[in-house]
Amino acid sequence: MREFAEIWSYLAASPLIWLSATLIAYLIGDALAQAAGRAPLVNPVLVAVILLAALLWGTQTSYATYFEGAQFVHFLLGPATVALAIPLWHQRHAVRRAFLPVCAALLAGSVTAVLSALAIGYALGLSPQLLATLAPKSTTAPVALGISESLGGSPTLTAVLVILTGMIGAIVVTPLMNALRIRDWRARGFAVGVAAHGIGTARAFQVNPQAGAFAGIGMALNAMLTAFLAPWALGLFL
Amino acid sequence: MIHALTLILACQLAGEALTRFFGWPAPGPVLGMALLFALMLASARLAALVTPTGEGILRHLSLLFVPAGVGVVGHLQQLGAYGLGFALVLVVSTVLALAVGAGAFVAVARLTGDKGDRDA
Protein backbone atom coordinates (compact mmCIF):
# COMPACT_ATOMS: atom_id res chain seq x y z
CA MET A 1 0.00 0.00 0.00
CA ARG A 2 1.21 3.45 -0.88
CA GLU A 3 1.71 6.20 1.62
CA PHE A 4 -1.30 8.46 2.09
CA ALA A 5 0.91 11.50 1.57
CA GLU A 6 2.02 10.16 -1.79
CA ILE A 7 -1.55 9.59 -2.99
CA TRP A 8 -2.56 12.97 -1.63
CA SER A 9 0.24 14.79 -3.42
CA TYR A 10 -0.85 13.12 -6.67
CA LEU A 11 -4.54 13.91 -6.19
CA ALA A 12 -4.00 17.41 -4.87
CA ALA A 13 -2.24 18.33 -8.09
CA SER A 14 -5.14 17.25 -10.34
CA PRO A 15 -8.29 19.30 -10.92
CA LEU A 16 -10.47 16.26 -10.19
CA ILE A 17 -10.28 16.46 -6.41
CA TRP A 18 -11.37 20.10 -6.11
CA LEU A 19 -14.06 19.73 -8.75
CA SER A 20 -15.46 16.77 -6.78
CA ALA A 21 -15.11 18.64 -3.50
CA THR A 22 -17.08 21.59 -4.93
CA LEU A 23 -19.93 19.33 -6.03
CA ILE A 24 -19.97 17.36 -2.77
CA ALA A 25 -19.93 20.55 -0.67
CA TYR A 26 -22.82 21.91 -2.71
CA LEU A 27 -24.80 18.66 -2.38
CA ILE A 28 -24.29 18.76 1.39
CA GLY A 29 -25.41 22.41 1.42
CA ASP A 30 -28.44 21.60 -0.71
CA ALA A 31 -29.37 18.59 1.45
CA LEU A 32 -29.10 20.73 4.60
CA ALA A 33 -31.20 23.46 2.98
CA GLN A 34 -33.84 20.89 2.07
CA ALA A 35 -33.77 19.39 5.57
CA ALA A 36 -34.23 22.89 6.97
CA GLY A 37 -37.31 23.35 4.78
CA ARG A 38 -35.41 25.88 2.60
CA ALA A 39 -34.95 28.17 5.59
CA PRO A 40 -33.32 31.34 4.22
CA LEU A 41 -30.27 31.24 6.50
CA VAL A 42 -29.35 27.69 5.40
CA ASN A 43 -28.36 28.92 1.95
CA PRO A 44 -26.68 26.13 -0.09
CA VAL A 45 -24.04 28.52 -1.49
CA LEU A 46 -23.18 29.80 1.98
CA VAL A 47 -22.93 26.29 3.45
CA ALA A 48 -20.79 25.02 0.55
CA VAL A 49 -18.48 28.05 0.74
CA ILE A 50 -17.94 27.63 4.48
CA LEU A 51 -17.24 23.88 4.10
CA LEU A 52 -14.78 24.41 1.25
CA ALA A 53 -13.04 27.34 2.92
CA ALA A 54 -12.53 25.18 6.01
CA LEU A 55 -11.24 22.32 3.86
CA LEU A 56 -8.79 24.56 2.00
CA TRP A 57 -7.59 26.02 5.25
CA GLY A 58 -7.27 22.57 6.85
CA THR A 59 -5.29 21.12 3.92
CA GLN A 60 -3.23 24.28 3.37
CA THR A 61 -4.41 24.45 -0.23
CA SER A 62 -4.16 27.75 -2.11
CA TYR A 63 -7.18 29.24 -3.86
CA ALA A 64 -5.28 29.05 -7.18
CA THR A 65 -4.94 25.27 -6.77
CA TYR A 66 -8.59 24.95 -5.77
CA PHE A 67 -9.71 27.04 -8.73
CA GLU A 68 -7.93 24.75 -11.22
CA GLY A 69 -10.64 22.23 -10.42
CA ALA A 70 -13.46 24.62 -9.60
CA GLN A 71 -13.07 26.58 -12.83
CA PHE A 72 -15.12 23.98 -14.67
CA VAL A 73 -18.10 24.85 -12.48
CA HIS A 74 -17.30 28.57 -12.56
CA PHE A 75 -17.22 28.52 -16.36
CA LEU A 76 -20.87 27.46 -16.49
CA LEU A 77 -21.94 30.86 -15.11
CA GLY A 78 -21.72 32.23 -18.66
CA PRO A 79 -23.93 29.60 -20.33
CA ALA A 80 -26.31 29.76 -17.33
CA THR A 81 -26.71 33.50 -17.86
CA VAL A 82 -27.53 32.86 -21.52
CA ALA A 83 -29.99 30.14 -20.44
CA LEU A 84 -31.94 32.72 -18.39
CA ALA A 85 -33.55 33.55 -21.75
CA ILE A 86 -35.51 30.28 -21.41
CA PRO A 87 -37.66 31.11 -18.33
CA LEU A 88 -37.96 34.63 -19.73
CA TRP A 89 -39.37 33.21 -22.98
CA HIS A 90 -41.82 30.95 -21.13
CA GLN A 91 -42.99 33.94 -19.05
CA ARG A 92 -42.95 36.41 -21.96
CA HIS A 93 -46.70 37.10 -21.85
CA ALA A 94 -46.61 37.71 -18.10
CA VAL A 95 -43.61 40.01 -18.58
CA ARG A 96 -45.28 41.99 -21.36
CA ARG A 97 -48.39 42.45 -19.20
CA ALA A 98 -46.20 43.69 -16.34
CA PHE A 99 -44.25 46.15 -18.50
CA LEU A 100 -44.99 49.25 -16.38
CA PRO A 101 -44.44 47.61 -12.97
CA VAL A 102 -41.16 46.17 -14.29
CA CYS A 103 -39.93 49.60 -15.44
CA ALA A 104 -40.92 51.19 -12.12
CA ALA A 105 -39.31 48.47 -10.01
CA LEU A 106 -36.14 48.53 -12.10
CA LEU A 107 -35.69 52.27 -11.74
CA ALA A 108 -36.65 52.38 -8.05
CA GLY A 109 -34.64 49.30 -7.05
CA SER A 110 -31.53 50.18 -9.04
CA VAL A 111 -31.40 53.81 -7.90
CA THR A 112 -31.98 52.76 -4.28
CA ALA A 113 -29.26 50.10 -4.42
CA VAL A 114 -26.63 52.53 -5.72
CA LEU A 115 -27.62 55.70 -3.87
CA SER A 116 -28.22 54.09 -0.46
CA ALA A 117 -24.86 52.29 -0.60
CA LEU A 118 -23.05 55.51 -1.52
CA ALA A 119 -24.93 57.61 1.04
CA ILE A 120 -24.23 55.22 3.94
CA GLY A 121 -20.63 54.74 2.82
CA TYR A 122 -20.19 58.52 2.57
CA ALA A 123 -21.67 59.00 6.05
CA LEU A 124 -19.20 56.41 7.37
CA GLY A 125 -16.34 58.39 5.85
CA LEU A 126 -15.29 55.96 3.09
CA SER A 127 -12.77 57.38 0.61
CA PRO A 128 -13.84 58.23 -2.97
CA GLN A 129 -11.97 55.16 -4.16
CA LEU A 130 -13.90 52.90 -1.77
CA LEU A 131 -17.18 54.55 -2.80
CA ALA A 132 -16.39 53.77 -6.45
CA THR A 133 -15.64 50.18 -5.40
CA LEU A 134 -18.98 49.98 -3.60
CA ALA A 135 -21.27 51.64 -6.18
CA PRO A 136 -21.91 48.62 -8.47
CA LYS A 137 -22.32 46.05 -5.65
CA SER A 138 -25.84 44.94 -6.71
CA THR A 139 -24.76 44.28 -10.29
CA THR A 140 -23.78 40.89 -11.70
CA ALA A 141 -20.03 40.30 -11.18
CA PRO A 142 -18.57 40.81 -14.69
CA VAL A 143 -20.41 44.12 -15.15
CA ALA A 144 -19.66 45.26 -11.59
CA LEU A 145 -15.92 44.75 -12.10
CA GLY A 146 -15.99 46.80 -15.30
CA ILE A 147 -17.94 49.63 -13.65
CA SER A 148 -15.68 49.65 -10.59
CA GLU A 149 -12.58 49.83 -12.73
CA SER A 150 -13.87 52.64 -14.95
CA LEU A 151 -14.82 54.68 -11.85
CA GLY A 152 -11.37 54.24 -10.30
CA GLY A 153 -12.37 51.64 -7.71
CA SER A 154 -10.74 48.32 -6.85
CA PRO A 155 -12.21 45.47 -8.97
CA THR A 156 -11.03 42.65 -6.64
CA LEU A 157 -12.68 44.28 -3.64
CA THR A 158 -15.79 44.91 -5.74
CA ALA A 159 -15.95 41.17 -6.49
CA VAL A 160 -16.01 40.46 -2.74
CA LEU A 161 -18.74 43.04 -2.13
CA VAL A 162 -20.83 41.72 -5.05
CA ILE A 163 -20.78 38.13 -3.75
CA LEU A 164 -21.56 39.25 -0.19
CA THR A 165 -24.46 41.40 -1.46
CA GLY A 166 -25.83 38.40 -3.36
CA MET A 167 -25.73 36.18 -0.28
CA ILE A 168 -27.30 38.87 1.93
CA GLY A 169 -30.09 39.39 -0.61
CA ALA A 170 -30.73 35.65 -0.97
CA ILE A 171 -30.95 35.22 2.80
CA VAL A 172 -32.99 38.34 3.55
CA VAL A 173 -35.52 38.36 0.69
CA THR A 174 -38.04 35.77 1.92
CA PRO A 175 -38.46 37.03 5.52
CA LEU A 176 -38.42 40.66 4.31
CA MET A 177 -41.12 40.15 1.67
CA ASN A 178 -43.24 38.16 4.12
CA ALA A 179 -42.90 40.96 6.69
CA LEU A 180 -43.91 43.53 4.06
CA ARG A 181 -46.82 41.28 3.00
CA ILE A 182 -45.73 41.35 -0.63
CA ARG A 183 -47.08 38.11 -2.07
CA ASP A 184 -46.77 38.85 -5.78
CA TRP A 185 -44.10 36.39 -7.03
CA ARG A 186 -43.25 38.70 -9.89
CA ALA A 187 -42.48 41.60 -7.53
CA ARG A 188 -40.51 39.43 -5.11
CA GLY A 189 -38.45 37.85 -7.87
CA PHE A 190 -37.82 41.02 -9.84
CA ALA A 191 -36.69 42.93 -6.75
CA VAL A 192 -34.21 40.25 -5.70
CA GLY A 193 -32.77 40.06 -9.22
CA VAL A 194 -32.19 43.84 -9.20
CA ALA A 195 -30.80 44.01 -5.64
CA ALA A 196 -28.87 40.72 -5.45
CA HIS A 197 -28.08 39.65 -9.07
CA GLY A 198 -27.45 35.95 -9.80
CA ILE A 199 -27.29 34.63 -6.24
CA GLY A 200 -30.64 36.28 -5.54
CA THR A 201 -31.94 34.85 -8.82
CA ALA A 202 -30.81 31.35 -7.82
CA ARG A 203 -32.74 31.74 -4.55
CA ALA A 204 -35.82 32.94 -6.45
CA PHE A 205 -35.75 29.84 -8.69
CA GLN A 206 -35.69 27.63 -5.58
CA VAL A 207 -38.82 29.31 -4.26
CA ASN A 208 -41.00 29.79 -7.35
CA PRO A 209 -40.43 29.46 -11.13
CA GLN A 210 -42.18 32.74 -11.93
CA ALA A 211 -40.13 34.56 -9.28
CA GLY A 212 -37.02 33.04 -10.86
CA ALA A 213 -37.92 34.22 -14.37
CA PHE A 214 -38.60 37.76 -13.16
CA ALA A 215 -35.39 37.73 -11.10
CA GLY A 216 -33.39 36.84 -14.22
CA ILE A 217 -34.86 39.84 -16.06
CA GLY A 218 -34.22 42.09 -13.07
CA MET A 219 -30.59 41.03 -12.97
CA ALA A 220 -30.02 41.59 -16.69
CA LEU A 221 -31.80 44.96 -16.82
CA ASN A 222 -30.06 46.19 -13.67
CA ALA A 223 -26.65 45.30 -15.11
CA MET A 224 -27.31 47.59 -18.05
CA LEU A 225 -28.91 50.40 -16.04
CA THR A 226 -26.20 50.49 -13.33
CA ALA A 227 -23.52 50.94 -15.99
CA PHE A 228 -25.13 54.31 -16.77
CA LEU A 229 -26.36 55.13 -13.27
CA ALA A 230 -23.23 54.52 -11.19
CA PRO A 231 -21.01 57.28 -12.68
CA TRP A 232 -23.79 59.84 -12.20
CA ALA A 233 -24.56 58.68 -8.64
CA LEU A 234 -20.90 58.69 -7.65
CA GLY A 235 -20.60 62.27 -8.94
CA LEU A 236 -23.16 63.33 -6.31
CA PHE A 237 -20.84 62.26 -3.49
CA LEU A 238 -17.47 63.55 -4.71
CA MET B 1 -28.86 17.95 -25.62
CA ILE B 2 -25.68 18.57 -27.63
CA HIS B 3 -27.67 20.74 -30.04
CA ALA B 4 -29.08 22.79 -27.17
CA LEU B 5 -25.68 23.15 -25.52
CA THR B 6 -24.10 24.22 -28.80
CA LEU B 7 -26.80 26.82 -29.32
CA ILE B 8 -26.33 28.24 -25.81
CA LEU B 9 -22.54 28.41 -26.18
CA ALA B 10 -22.85 29.93 -29.65
CA CYS B 11 -25.11 32.67 -28.24
CA GLN B 12 -22.57 33.40 -25.52
CA LEU B 13 -19.74 33.45 -28.02
CA ALA B 14 -21.62 35.83 -30.31
CA GLY B 15 -22.44 38.00 -27.29
CA GLU B 16 -18.80 38.14 -26.17
CA ALA B 17 -17.63 38.95 -29.70
CA LEU B 18 -20.23 41.71 -30.15
CA THR B 19 -19.55 43.48 -26.81
CA ARG B 20 -15.79 43.37 -27.44
CA PHE B 21 -16.19 44.60 -31.00
CA PHE B 22 -18.44 47.55 -30.12
CA GLY B 23 -16.96 48.17 -26.65
CA TRP B 24 -20.39 47.94 -24.98
CA PRO B 25 -20.64 48.02 -21.18
CA ALA B 26 -22.96 44.94 -21.13
CA PRO B 27 -21.16 41.62 -20.53
CA GLY B 28 -21.11 38.97 -23.26
CA PRO B 29 -23.40 36.45 -21.53
CA VAL B 30 -26.11 39.10 -20.94
CA LEU B 31 -26.05 39.96 -24.64
CA GLY B 32 -26.06 36.20 -25.40
CA MET B 33 -29.21 35.91 -23.28
CA ALA B 34 -30.90 38.64 -25.36
CA LEU B 35 -29.76 36.83 -28.51
CA LEU B 36 -31.13 33.46 -27.38
CA PHE B 37 -34.41 35.13 -26.40
CA ALA B 38 -34.70 36.67 -29.89
CA LEU B 39 -34.01 33.28 -31.48
CA MET B 40 -36.66 31.61 -29.29
CA LEU B 41 -39.19 34.29 -30.26
CA ALA B 42 -38.39 33.66 -33.91
CA SER B 43 -38.77 29.88 -33.70
CA ALA B 44 -40.93 27.92 -31.27
CA ARG B 45 -39.23 24.72 -32.42
CA LEU B 46 -35.89 26.10 -31.33
CA ALA B 47 -37.42 27.15 -28.02
CA ALA B 48 -38.64 23.60 -27.43
CA LEU B 49 -35.22 22.22 -28.35
CA VAL B 50 -33.24 24.38 -25.94
CA THR B 51 -35.66 24.30 -22.97
CA PRO B 52 -34.82 20.96 -21.24
CA THR B 53 -31.03 21.46 -21.30
CA GLY B 54 -31.26 25.12 -20.30
CA GLU B 55 -33.59 24.34 -17.42
CA GLY B 56 -31.18 21.61 -16.36
CA ILE B 57 -28.35 24.15 -16.08
CA LEU B 58 -30.56 26.64 -14.25
CA ARG B 59 -31.88 24.08 -11.75
CA HIS B 60 -28.57 24.27 -9.91
CA LEU B 61 -27.69 27.89 -10.59
CA SER B 62 -26.60 28.24 -6.93
CA LEU B 63 -23.80 25.70 -7.43
CA LEU B 64 -22.15 27.90 -10.04
CA PHE B 65 -21.49 30.67 -7.49
CA VAL B 66 -19.61 28.39 -5.08
CA PRO B 67 -16.09 28.79 -6.62
CA ALA B 68 -16.36 32.59 -6.62
CA GLY B 69 -17.75 32.48 -3.08
CA VAL B 70 -14.77 30.46 -1.86
CA GLY B 71 -12.52 33.12 -3.43
CA VAL B 72 -14.24 35.77 -1.33
CA VAL B 73 -13.24 34.07 1.92
CA GLY B 74 -9.57 34.63 1.08
CA HIS B 75 -10.22 38.29 0.39
CA LEU B 76 -12.25 39.05 3.49
CA GLN B 77 -9.26 40.67 5.18
CA GLN B 78 -9.15 43.13 2.27
CA LEU B 79 -12.24 44.69 3.78
CA GLY B 80 -9.74 45.59 6.50
CA ALA B 81 -10.52 48.44 8.86
CA TYR B 82 -13.79 49.07 7.05
CA GLY B 83 -15.13 45.53 7.52
CA LEU B 84 -17.90 46.53 9.88
CA GLY B 85 -18.76 49.62 7.85
CA PHE B 86 -19.03 47.58 4.66
CA ALA B 87 -21.21 45.00 6.42
CA LEU B 88 -23.56 47.77 7.54
CA VAL B 89 -23.67 49.33 4.07
CA LEU B 90 -24.35 46.01 2.31
CA VAL B 91 -27.10 44.85 4.67
CA VAL B 92 -28.96 48.18 4.89
CA SER B 93 -28.62 49.00 1.20
CA THR B 94 -29.71 45.52 0.08
CA VAL B 95 -32.76 45.52 2.37
CA LEU B 96 -33.72 49.01 1.14
CA ALA B 97 -33.28 48.10 -2.54
CA LEU B 98 -35.37 44.94 -2.09
CA ALA B 99 -38.17 46.74 -0.25
CA VAL B 100 -38.28 49.76 -2.59
CA GLY B 101 -38.03 47.62 -5.75
CA ALA B 102 -40.78 45.18 -4.77
CA GLY B 103 -42.88 48.02 -3.33
CA ALA B 104 -42.66 49.98 -6.60
CA PHE B 105 -43.63 46.88 -8.56
CA VAL B 106 -46.71 46.20 -6.44
CA ALA B 107 -47.75 49.88 -6.34
CA VAL B 108 -47.56 50.37 -10.11
CA ALA B 109 -49.25 47.01 -10.73
CA ARG B 110 -52.13 48.18 -8.53
CA LEU B 111 -52.30 51.60 -10.25
CA THR B 112 -52.50 50.00 -13.69
CA GLY B 113 -55.21 47.61 -12.54
CA ASP B 114 -52.95 44.58 -12.86
CA LYS B 115 -54.19 41.75 -10.65
CA GLY B 116 -51.11 39.60 -11.14
CA ASP B 117 -51.10 36.26 -12.86
CA ARG B 118 -53.81 34.32 -11.14
CA ASP B 119 -54.65 32.79 -14.51
CA ALA B 120 -51.08 31.78 -15.33
> For the segment A126-169, what is each residue's pLDDT rounded down to a tens digit?
999 999 999 999 998 888 888 888 888 888 889 889 999 999 99
Confidence of residue A1 (pLDDT cuts 50, 70, 90): low
Find chain A residues with C-beta within 8 A of B44's C-beta: none
Select from B18, B64, B69 the least CA-distant residue to A79: B64
My answer on whether B63 and B85 are in the same domain is: no
- Provide the domain limits for residue A149: 1-235
How far, rounded to the nearest angstrom, does the alpha carbon of residue A131 sit from its chain's CA centroid?
20
Answer yes or no: do B91 and B60 share one domain.
no
pTM of the model: 0.86
Total domains in chain B come to 2
**Structural domain count, chain A:** 1
CA dihedral B76, A172, A153, A230 (to 10 degrees): 180
Look at residue B16 and tell me whether its pLDDT is greater than 60.
yes
d(CA B33, CA B39) in angstroms, rounded, equals 10
Report how far Cα A193 is from the mean position of its chain's Cα atoms. Answer: 9
Question: Once rounded to an integer, what is the mean pLDDT over residues B77-96?
Answer: 87
**Contact predicate A80/B61, CB 8 Å:** yes
* pLDDT for A221 beyond 80: yes
Give me the interface pTM, i.e. the ipTM.
0.87
Q: What is the mean pLDDT of residues A10-32?
A: 90
Residues of A in contact with B72 (CB under 8 A): 49, 159-160, 163-164
Between positions 149 and 178 of A, the ones with CB within 8 A of B are 156-157, 159-161, 163-169, 172-173, 176-177
C-beta neighbour count of B42 within 10 angstroms: 10
Supply the pLDDT for residue B19.
Answer: 86
Inter-chain residue contact A84 with B33, CB threshold 8 Å = yes
Amino acid identity at B11: C
**In the prediction, which pLDDT does B120 show?**
41
* Residue B8 and residue B54 in one domain: yes
What confidence tens digit (pLDDT) does each residue in A81-102 have? 899 899 889 888 988 899 999 9
Kindly state whether residues B51 and B4 are assigned to the same domain: yes
Give, in order, the Cα–Cα distances in Å from B4 to each of A24, A75, B53: 27, 17, 6
Whether residue A206 lies within 8 A of chain B, CB to CB, comes out as yes
Q: Are B50 and B105 contained in the same domain?
A: no
Interchain contact, B25 vs A67, CB within 8 Å: no
Which chain A residue lies closest to B23 (C-alpha atoms)? A146
Neighbour tally for B73: CB within 10 Å: 18
Confidence of residue B72 (pLDDT cuts 50, 70, 90): confident
pLDDT at B119: 41
Q: Is the pLDDT of residue B25 over 80?
A: no
Whether residue B57 is found in the same domain as residue B99: no
Structural domain boundaries enclosing B110: 75-119
Given this model, what pLDDT does residue B91 score?
Answer: 96
Chain B: give the shortest CA distance to residue A112, in Å.
5
| Same-domain check for residues B9 and B55 | yes
CA of B116: which chain A residue's CA is closest? A184
Residue of chain B with shortest Cα separation from A51: B70
